[in-house]
Structure 1
Amino acid sequence: MEVFAHAGVAHQPLSMSQLRGVSAPRLALGGVRLLQAVTQASRAMGAFRPDACLVTGGYVSAPVVLAARLRRIPVVVFLPDVVPGMAIKTLAPLASRIAVSFPNTRDHWIHSRQVVTGYPVRPEFHSASRERGREAFRIRADRTVVMVMGGSSGARSINYAISDMLEPLLHHADVIHLCGEPDEPRLRSIRSGLGEHLRTRYHLFKYLHRGIADALAASDLVVCRAGASTPAELPMVGVPSILVPGSFAGGHQRQNASVLTDQGAAITIPDDALIGSSPTDPSALWPTIKSLLQDPARLQSMRDASQRLARPEAAENIVSLLRSVAGKSG
């Protein structure tokens, strides 16, 4: 809700919760909540009078799609990940078209109404600047930069691995580290214990409110998870990456990572290999980072491969699809 409010986008919350358990009382309660949410969604559509409806999956999409169909409003289902979840598979038969982010979705799921649109990225990725990013972090143009991030709340396995290898890594590169809130105090303490020369090379943040695209563009290598936006955002700035897919969400991140690794734009390291037998064993990560930093030709090849995967027209493709199902042009 805060995101919509901050962006000034009108929104209507729905009284809908995920179904947990299959006992009769829980199923009955889930059915009642679904009907309530369908009613709320239908009333909102009656006031807003949309020409088309776009949903992106998750249990909250169900009442929206049902309300749209009851009002004969065409529906476009957008699949952000490579592999669809249960909600999208269930709602797909009710959709006029299904927009998929990546071509290799068809290796896992084929539907007659699929259209490959690409994954729309934020406007800042269309104008990202390596020079502006370096200036923002006060990093010289001739320095190598490794960016590390683990999503909005960080990634503990990545954070532990990076902290254990931090000193040798800082001898090779400046590090921009978006660590999330839970690990920040520990990492801040480690940073304060570094010598001044290395400390100035370690740029530690919980997260960035703005400038994330410039930070990525300023980097020579990125270490991160493989969320839905990763295979779209990294190619927009053409940066090579080491991906550490999370094991949650049904393993979707492993398939997301394959979008980049299959084309030579990234290397994937399993999360369990990253931490090994203890949370401070970076055996799989540090040799990989060091090898890449010492091989400029391979980094350039990965950068080129990443740039070839960029889909800057993705948002326009989805808008065109919505106009098409709504019977509008221009």
Structure 2
Amino acid sequence: MEQKAIVFTGGGSAGHVTVNLALIPYFLQKGEKVHYIGSKDGIEKELIQSLEEVSYKAIATGKLRRYLSVKNLKDPFRVLKGVGEAYQYLGDVKPSIVFSKGGFVSVPVVMAAWMRKIPVVIHESDLTPGLANRIALPFATKVCTTFEEAAKHLKGNKAIHIGAVVREELRQGDKERARNWLGFVQEKPVLLFMGGSLGAKKMNDTLRAIVTELTGKYQIVHLCGKGQVDLEMGSVQGYKAFEYLQDELPDVLALADMVISRAGSNAIFEFLTLHKPMLLIPLSEKVSRGDQLLNAKSFEKSGYAHILWEEDLAEDTLLESIRLLGENKEKIRAKMRDYNRQDAISEIIKIIENSRLR
């Protein structure tokens, strides 16, 4: 019997990879050939290439911008080149299904799969679909959504609400192992500050400006983003900075008492599942399509998070927001315990199996 094959795609940020990372182990355990199509230099390449059993194919991709740029003239040709490269690769590996998490690199892959008559299942994390998924939607067989309200923004009857996908390893974190690795003491609570996989300069700079004041009460793990670590801060007691964490992240999350983060859907649902009170600083509409604003408002309304708007972010407002979060953290945890978590991974696997070529 010919070995089954599945192709995953998605990238540009860690949020466009994490769902794939949650699903890949299942298909490897089944003995399937698992392939990944991503960009040549995106974070997905770093995250996926650590999985020795997964074949990685890099293709050309263009960024789908919402603003005027001379690069907009060249990028359609890069997308077309990516479609050709993906079409060739899909012909070589002959998958029975393609699973797309979104991001710019997924567009040529989804188009190429449609041209090859290979079914495509898309995952949409946010309340409203991103530009890449909106382009890919006509070529998809099914669209899995995290938010129940997302279906009304998707045309046709392709949408299936499956809830949040949370990687199983995140639930297996060991707080004592993290404490020993970081050299933290047991007496002080731990604040996890996440600027996102791509970093957030204003967030990072504001935290650094108040770090000595914060370390009087907290120990801080600061995930700054690629190339954003300030080496001069290395001597600050009770403060540890990293570009991002992969293998150590479950342990660090287990240790964290509170989280300060952007409001990407995958991340905030992971914090919700782990009962981590959060202060969300969503990307503003000036630099995004506003999806994080909607995510943050939804979580605040449900009692899972506090919000500090990017426009209001300053040293004094961040200090005050952290103080209020600390005061309300037990109330927030109580709300989080009432969250009814669906087994989203099993639902997606069922959809994939029912959609693939026979």
2:128 aligned with 1:65, yes or no? Answer: no
2:230 aligned with 1:184, yes or no? Answer: yes
Matches within 5 A, 1:228-243: 228-243=265-280
- Structure 2 residue aligned with 1:302: 332
1:7 partner amino acid? L
Report how far residue 319 of structure 1 moved.
Answer: 1.6
Report how far residue 32 of structure 1 moved.
Answer: 5.2
Deviation sequence 1:202-241 (CA, Å, 0-9, x none):
3343433431122122121111212242222212321001
In the superposition, relative to structure 1, how do residues 30 and 311 fare at CA in structure 2: closer, same or farther (>3 Å)? same
2:55 partner amino acid? A
> Which secondary structure does the structure 1 equivalent of 2:103 belong to?
coil
- Structure 1 residue aligned with 2:15: none
Kept in 2, the 8 Å contact 1:126–1:312? The answer is no
- Structure 1 residue aligned with 2:89: 44
In the superposition, relative to structure 1, how do residues 92 and 49 fare at CA in structure 2: closer, same or farther (>3 Å)? same
In the superposition, relative to structure 1, how do residues 163 and 72 fare at CA in structure 2: closer, same or farther (>3 Å)? closer
Tell me how many residue pairs correspond in the alignment: 308
- Structure 2 residue aligned with 1:165: 210
> Which secondary structure does the structure 1 equivalent of 2:88 belong to?
helix
- Structure 2 residue aligned with 1:316: 346
In the superposition, relative to structure 1, how do residues 305 and 213 fare at CA in structure 2: closer, same or farther (>3 Å)? farther
Deviation sequence 1:39-93 (CA, Å, 0-9, x none):
3322222221211111222343333222222222211111133321222122212
Q: Distance in 2 between matches of 1:269 and 1:290?
A: 12
2:282 aligned with 1:249, yes or no? Answer: no
Percent identity between the two aligned chains: 28
Report how far residue 127 of structure 1 moved.
Answer: 1.0
- Structure 2 residue aligned with 1:53: 98
1:133 is aligned, of 178, 188, 206, to 178
- Structure 2 residue aligned with 1:196: none
Report how far residue 135 of structure 1 moved.
Answer: 3.7
2:247 aligned with 1:214, yes or no? Answer: no
- Structure 1 residue aligned with 2:33: none
2:326 aligned with 1:287, yes or no? Answer: no
2:272 aligned with 1:226, yes or no? Answer: no
> Which secondary structure does the structure 2 equivalent of 1:246 belong to?
coil
In the superposition, relative to structure 1, how do residues 263 and 323 fare at CA in structure 2: closer, same or farther (>3 Å)? same
Kept in 1, the 8 Å contact 2:97–2:352? The answer is yes
Q: Distance in 1 between matches of 2:171 and 2:351?
A: 21
Q: Distance in 2 between matches of 1:219 and 1:2?
A: 25
In the superposition, relative to structure 1, how do residues 110 and 220 fare at CA in structure 2: closer, same or farther (>3 Å)? farther
- Structure 2 residue aligned with 1:278: none
Could you say which structure has the higher strand fraction?
2
Segment of structure 1 superposing worse, 69-78 or 100-109: 100-109
Kept in 1, the 8 Å contact 2:308–2:321? The answer is no
In the superposition, relative to structure 1, how do residues 219 and 107 fare at CA in structure 2: closer, same or farther (>3 Å)? farther
1:182 partner amino acid? Q
2:188 aligned with 1:143, yes or no? Answer: yes
In the superposition, relative to structure 1, how do residues 270 and 38 fare at CA in structure 2: closer, same or farther (>3 Å)? same
Segment of structure 1 superposing worse, 80-89 or 108-117: 108-117
Kept in 1, the 8 Å contact 2:127–2:150? The answer is yes
Kept in 2, the 8 Å contact 1:128–1:237? The answer is no
In the superposition, relative to structure 1, how do residues 43 and 260 fare at CA in structure 2: closer, same or farther (>3 Å)? same
2:59 is aligned, of 14, 31, 42, to 14
Kept in 2, the 8 Å contact 1:234–1:306? The answer is no
Kept in 2, the 8 Å contact 1:237–1:307? The answer is no
TM-score calculated relative to the size of structure 2 = 0.75
> Which secondary structure does the structure 1 equivalent of 2:166 belong to?
coil
- Structure 2 residue aligned with 1:266: 305
In the superposition, relative to structure 1, how do residues 187 and 153 fare at CA in structure 2: closer, same or farther (>3 Å)? farther
In the superposition, relative to structure 1, how do residues 109 and 268 fare at CA in structure 2: closer, same or farther (>3 Å)? farther
Q: Distance in 2 between matches of 1:179 and 1:26?
A: 29
Q: Distance in 2 between matches of 1:153 and 1:39?
A: 28
Report how far residue 103 of structure 1 moved.
Answer: 2.3
Give unpaired runs (5+ residues) of structure 1: 192-198, 276-281
